[in-house]
Amino acid sequence: MDHSIPVVMAGDIVLLVVWLTLSTFVVRYYWFSPWRSEPAGVALMGFMSVTVIILTFGMATVAIGIFPGAEAIRLLLYLLLALASWRFLKILVGAQNAAQENAVDPSGRIDTPTDQQEENCPPR
């Protein structure tokens, strides 16, 4: 008895559930969020869209098998994913650098007090 068939079917079901979840996210984010207004929103939309396309491609190869040109398409999709990931990293580094430049501390204060300002403050 081959026990790998239930595992393969379970994997396909998980893939379908993830695809449905991410596809719903992309559609809802596209229609109901101002994602174009911030670079992080654009990056998130790009990343999630590429992920849905990759999953769609994966499901197509499961359904119909490997077809001529599939390797080139997979490479292109992975390159798109790499570009989307690099964009996320660039936005993260920019946000972290901006936070350091604005001296935001964990309490949410901007422009942390200097040593002399702290000397003039009452004890805590």
pLDDT digits (tens, 9 = 90+) for 39-94: 999 999 999 999 999 999 988 988 898 889 999 999 999 999 999 999 999 999 99
Secondary-structure percent of the chain, ordered helix, strand, coil, rounded to 5? 75, 0, 25
The answer to whether residue 47 sits within a structural domain is yes
Q: What are phi and psi of 96, to 5 degrees?
A: -65, -40
| Cα torsion 61, 63, 65, 68: sign | negative
Q: Which domain does 101 fall in, by range?
A: 4-119
**Would you place residue 1 in the very low, low, confident or very high pLDDT band (cuts 50, 70, 90)?**
low
SS3 (DSSP) at 100? helix
The answer to whether residue 48 sits within a structural domain is yes
In the chain, the number of structural domains is: 1
Tell me if the pTM is above 0.85: no
The answer to whether residue 124 sits within a structural domain is no
